[in-house]
Structures are given as structure tokens and as C-alpha cells.
Structure 1
Amino acid sequence: MTESFAVGSDVRVREVLHGAEWASWDERVVGDDGVVLATVKVDGTPMAFPAHPVPHPWGHLDAWTSTTVLKLRRSHDWYSVWKFFDADGAFLHWYVNFETPVHRTADGVEVNDLQLDIVIAPDGDWRWKDVEHLAPSMSAARITADELLATLDAAAEVADLLERDDRWWSVWDGWSPAGDAEWEDGCP
């Protein structure tokens, strides 16, 4: 098991594309049992975009805006699960972000977003997002054929979990930014 990050500490999240940092920002740890790393990216979080041959789609931003996001990253998964809140802390929706498996570093994590997403409404209805970006991303060498296949396998796995209402992340249903103090001991 990988050493856990302390609850309340900040970790650096780096998106790495083609072996080079593409974007980075800090997130606060709200839970880490060595398998599931739970972090929060708050409204106003500064973001950095180092020089890279491929422009980052968020490269025009200086900071994350309008929402606060709880992110749950589980070792070896080709996706993370995000819980979105509006500026007032009201729950908006769950979101599955397909990405390379999280790689822990001494001060944070490295991932690469793989374009495909699922949006899960508060009532449990869900829909695919950004399917149309997969083929162009592969054509532009933004994602590899192996990454696409892994993403599609993970997408089938997540769709099955949602159809069976077997969300491993449901233990975080009660978490909110306003009630974060209740979670000081880490994962539920």
C-alpha cells in the first residue's frame, strides 16, 4: 500500500501529457486510506499551465471558478469520481472523469484526462459527456489507442455499476464543503 496523505494537507495535482506537466493546482486532502484518495478543489483554486506543445483546454484560466469539487481517486482505476457543489455549497451532480490511473508522488498525484465523462444527476439519471471528443483526441495523439481501449473498458465497468446502483463512492453521498469538519477523521 502507498503511504497515505494526511487529512488537511495539500497535494499537488499534475496533469501529465506525453511525459510533461500540462497543468497543475493544489487540492486539500479530506480522506485517504491508501486506496481511495479524497481531495477538494475549491472555487478560486489557482491553476498553472506550463509551456507544452499541446495547448490545455483550460489554459486560458488563472483559477478554477464557480464550483467546489470533491474528487475521489481509487488506485488502479481508469477514472475518478467527482462531486460538484455550486458557489453556495449546494450539491449539483456527480461526475465520472475518465483518466489514467492515479500515480502518487511525494507531494501529490499525476493523472491524464482522457476526455470521456459521465454526468450523474442528483436523482441518479446519468448521461455520457464528450463522446465526440474521443476520435479527434486519438487522431491528434492526445490519447493513445491503448488509452482509448482502457477508457472504453472502464466506461463499460462504470455504466454497469450505475445500472446496478452499485456506486462504491456512495459512502461520500453525505459529504459537503459546509460539513467538512465532520469528516476530519478521513474516509467514511
Structure 2
Amino acid sequence: MNRFEPGAIVALRYITRADSTVGMTWPARVVADGDSLVALWIPEGAEYRAWHRPPGEPRRLVPAHWRRETVRLMFPGAAHSVWCSWEGPGRRFRMYYVNFEEPFRRTQIGFDTNDHALDIVVWPDFRWEWKDLDEFEALAASGVFAPDFARAVRAEAGGVLAAIEQRAAPFDGSWVDWQPPAEWTVPALPAGWDTVPPVPWDLRRWAYRPDLAR
């Protein structure tokens, strides 16, 4: 499948564990699409689709607005991405956010993946903290995440923590001063974001219990 040119608008989609349908989805502009890195820009205010569950009703996708400028760094074959974020009119660098997730797959309109619940927040002074560790451990304890898969996620986290401690890329400051080209406008979800067939992860049956997942 062809690479995307810088500035191209793509859809980044989360594919649900239970039935491999399209879930949360973001519009993004491509910063880079190479052999070792895919970088996507999601600006503050971009309209994406998020889950919402009205009382007594099934959850559904609804429009929402992204709250903080983000460049999402994704590494082919890796089970995590690193989000660099900025805030305020001066674009103050806010944090690195490590999101553990399925290795991404390409589609004709962008990229598919899904979240593994576990996250690490890394502040500019390199203090770090877990996020959603309780949720991850609960998914593992309940059997939604298979034991071998849960161990693999923990091992992936160990490698990321070593990179943080060593200030290795991308935690080396190389993205802190990045700026989008002046001509880039806020992207909208491309046509087909909700109809292009998802590309499920080929290890999904090893990782998840579909009857327990959502």
C-alpha cells in the first residue's frame, strides 16, 4: 500500500476488540511516513469521534473536539506510540504520552490500531507516572487480556521506561520545537472513515477474549 505524502489528511481509527468494528477515530495530517516512523499531527479543536454512553442506552460514537495539539509518533511493528503535545498560544511543550496499543495497520484512508488501556505520562523534566494501570490490570485479571499478552504489554512498557531513563529518541527533545507548516489547516475526517473495512490485528485471537472484550 502506498505511503502518504506530508500534509495528507488521514483517519486514525481504533478497531474494537469485541467485533472488529470502527471505534474512536481522529483526523490527522501526515508529518512523516517512513520505514521507521509514522508521525501524525492532530491539532487542538480537530473534530473526531469518541464513545458516549447515554444512561440506559448502548454506547455510540459522537463528535467531539480534540483538546490539545498533538503529534503522534508511531513505529512500525511496535506495540506503543508516543504522543508529543503542546498547549497555549505560545505552544508550550506539555508532555510525552506513551500509549500502549496494537501495532498499526495501513488502510487506503490512514491507519488502524486499538488501545491497550495502559499509558505512561512523561513530563518535560522526565518525571513519569503510570496512567490507567488499574484498568489494565483489571482487564488482565478478568481474562479479557490473555496472560501471555498481558506479559507482552508489560515487557513493552519496560523497554519504553528504559528509553525514558536514557533520554533516547523520541525522548531526546528532538520533537519539542517542532512546528506545523503555516499553511496547514485543521483536518476533517476523510470520506470513508466509517465505511472503509477495518484491518484487524492478526494476533487478536491470541491477545483478547472476544466474548469478554468491548
TM-score when normalising by structure 1: 0.81
Matches within 5 A, 1:31-180: 31-48=32-49, 55=59, 62-88=63-89, 89-138=91-140, 143-168=145-170, 170=172, 171-175=174-178, 179-180=179-180
Contact 2:14 2:23 in 1 (8 A): yes
- Per-residue deviation, 1:17: 1.5
Please tell me whether the aligned partners of residues 164 and 171 of structure 2 are also in contact (alpha carbons under 8 angstroms): no
Higher relative contact order (CA 8 A, sep 6+): 2
Cα shift readout 1:18-64 (whole Å, capped 9, x = no counterpart): 22212212111111223211111112222235899x848xx5x6223
Aligned partners of 2:51, 2:166: CA distance in 1, in Å?
A: 41
Q: Percent identity?
A: 26
CA spacing shift, 1:123–1:110, aligned 2, 3 Å: same
Q: Does the CA contact (< 8 Å) of 2:47 and 2:66 recur in 1?
A: no
| Matched position secondary structure for 1:62 | strand
Q: Please tell me whether the aligned partners of residues 51 and 59 of structure 2 are also in contact (alpha carbons under 8 angstroms).
A: no
Aligned residue pairs: how many? 176
Rg (Cα) greater in structure: 2
AA in 2 matched with 1:44: G
| Local SS of the residue matching 1:158 | helix
Check the 8 A contact 2:39/2:74 in 1, yes or no: yes
Work out the CA distance in 1 between the residues paired with 2:24 and 2:135. Answer: 19
Q: Show CA shifts across 1:55-90 (max 9, x none).
A: 48xx5x622333111100010111000011114222
Q: Give me the whole-angstrom Cα distance separating, in 2, the residues matched to 1:162 and 1:43.
A: 26
Which one is further off, 108-117 or 25-34? 25-34
CA-CA distance at 1:108 after TM superposition? 0.5
Which letter maps to 2:16?
A: L
Matched, 1:4 2:7: no
Cα distance, 1:165 vs structure 2: 1.9
Deviations 1:82-133 (A, max 9, x none): 0111142221111111111111112100111111111111112211111111
Report the AA paired with residue 122 of structure 2.
I
Matches of 2:128 and 2:147 in 1, distance apart?
26
Distance 1:42 1:104 in 2: 22
Q: Which contiguous aligned blocks of 4+ residues in structure 1 show a shift greater than 6 angstroms?
A: none
- Could you tell me the TM-score, scaled by structure 2's length? 0.72
Contiguous gaps of at least 5 residues in structure 2? 185-214
**Counterpart residue type for residue 73 of structure 2:** L
**Map of 2:193 onto structure 1:** none
